[in-house]
Chains A and B, each alone.
Chain A
Amino acid sequence: EIVLTQSPGTLSLSPGERATLSCRASQSVSSSYLAWYQQKPGQAPRLLIYGASSRATGIPDRFSGSGSGTDFTLTISRLEPEDFAVYYCQQYGTCHFFGQGTRLEIK
């Protein structure tokens, strides 16, 4: 079982700032089978990034993903008001595991 640990648990930033979210796996994630999702209150998760660094259809280019092996990062270059939400990473290589989430809140 792969455990995904996201940090920080909560990130407080202001619109216009840069956000850096981390996802660390307990074992190497095969072929960078790592995705990021955004979830707003009362809504289903939305796919942002797959394959560690590929943006899903319709996702603005201020969202970017990077990393390999056990360490992955989601970066939001300049925060917009609509970006404040909870973000989850997911490993989907040999099974499906989610991280516990990072809450991005307005400072």
Chain B
Amino acid sequence: QVQLVQSGAEVKKPGASVKVSCKASGYTFTGYYMHWVRQAPGQGLEWMGWINPNSGGTNYAQKFQGWVTMTRDTSISTAYMELSRLRSDDTAVYYCARGLRAWWYFDLWGRGTLVTVSS
């Protein structure tokens, strides 16, 4: 079954970091880019960046540069997104989504991981 399975909800304090995982199954992990998109409560979708699971190369949206780190472990077909120096307005659902190329539509999405930042 082709799917992306994300890690569970997280509660973090301001200033902490969070690392969300996204495990791919049912397809060749290294054959697709993995993107991360977030959605604050009641808000729209915001693209954060992508990782090329084959090379490990990354591209981050300007807003998140220096603040987000995307990595992968090809041995377990899993991509990771780590966001540091969390603030309350980072409270959101974080989705992973695959795209055939860096600049491509997203044909498969994870179910999302809720990250709550609260003191």
Contact = CB atoms under 8 A, between A and B. Distances in A.
Interface of A: 33, 35, 37, 43-47, 50-51, 56-57, 88, 90, 92-101
A97 B95 CA distance: 15
A94 B44 contact: no
Contact of A92 (B44, B105, B111): B105
Report the interface size class on chain B. Answer: 10 to 19
A44 B112 contact: yes
The 6 A-B residue pairs with the shortest CB-CB distance, nearest first, are A96-B47, A44-B109, A35-B105, A50-B105, A98-B45, A100-B44
B47 A97 contact: yes
Contacts of A47: 105-107
A9 to B, nearest CB: 11
B35 A96 contact: yes
Contacts of B47: 95-98
Contacts of B95: 44-45
B103 A88 contact: no
Contacts of A97: 47
A101 B44 CA distance: 7
A88 B106 CA distance: 12
Contacts of A99: 44
B110 interface: yes
